[in-house]
Amino acid sequence: MTEKKHTEQKPVIEISDLKISFGKTAVLKGLTLNLYDGENLVVLGKSGSGKSVLIKCIVQLLEADSGSIKVLGQEMNGIKKENLEQLRMKIGFLFQSGALYDSMTVQENLEFPLKRIRKELNRNQIEDKVKEVLTAVGLPDTASKMPSELSGGMKKRIGLARTIIIDPLIMLYDEPTTGLDPITSDEISQLMNSIKKTYKTSSIIITHDIECVKAVADRIIMIDEGVLYKEGTLKEFEASKDPFIKSYFK
């Protein structure tokens, strides 16, 4: 995507001058970025640079010290609880570990948010929706399994299924391929592209995995020392002569 195209597009997430610290450690020191409609934005940076903190601030799992976060035009800082719940229903969040509920089967894991968010659906519609998302993530026969019976890659896929079952407009991925073998990582990356296409989502992807970056990125930003270090396309990053950036793309 080009800058020219961005000026014509409306951002779905607008972050400006975001600051957050834990005790005396400042993690984000004035970060500004936008996520535009229909794009995959990859966030790169060293461990501890505040990438996961950034997406947790977006969904208000963490509260920023200052700055502004607007999601779908709505300011998140100081948002009312009811409005936050409504907004969160439009956001899918894939945790690094998948965060499946241990005490529930895969079917129950998927039904759990759906029953509470889409109260108008009847029993059959819920079951159809569960089958649809399980097929979408390539695991149609796992409904009766417990999370402990699944491999790491399968957990990530079920985690993905649980996020897309509520038809989100925005997806936030927290290191989706970390800890997976290269083949499974590639499958997850393809799945993320497929979700973008099928469900017309806009996504922020936190990752260290350069193969994943190459597979999914429309645009990349790099964070260092709590501020935006560089923003650009994959080609621009690959062509960069900056030693810090080259260390990622060598």
Partner 1 sequence: MKEFFYDFGSAFLFILHTFREAFSFKFEFREFFKQSYQIGIKSFALISITGLIMGLVLTIQSRPVLMQFGAETMLPAMVATSLIREMGPVITALICAGKIGSGMGAELGSMKVTEQIDAMEISSINPMRYLIVTRVFAAILMIPILVLYADALGIFGCWLGINMKGDINFVLFFSQAFGSLEFMDFLPAVVKTFFFGAVIGFVGCYKGFHAGRGTESVGIAANSAVVLASLLVIVVDVIAVQITDMLL
Residues in the chain: 250
227 is a contact residue toward partner 1 (CB under 8 A): no
Closest to partner 1 by CB, 84 vs 228, is 84
Closest to partner 1 by CB, 66 vs 83, is 83
Of 95, 173, 237, 248, the residue at the interface with partner 1 (CB under 8 A) is 95
113 is a contact residue toward partner 1 (CB under 8 A): yes
How far, CA to CA in Å, does 207 sit from each of 18, 211, 212, 242?
20, 10, 8, 20
Strand partners, 68: 16
| Shortest Cβ 170–partner 1 spacing (Å) | 12
160 is a contact residue toward partner 1 (CB under 8 A): no
96 is a contact residue toward partner 1 (CB under 8 A): yes
x/- site string to partner 1, residues 28 to 67, per CB under 8 A? ----------------------------x--x-x------
Q: Which residues bind partner 1 (CB under 8 A)?
A: 56, 59, 61, 85-86, 88-89, 91, 93, 95-97, 99-102, 112-113, 116-117, 162, 166
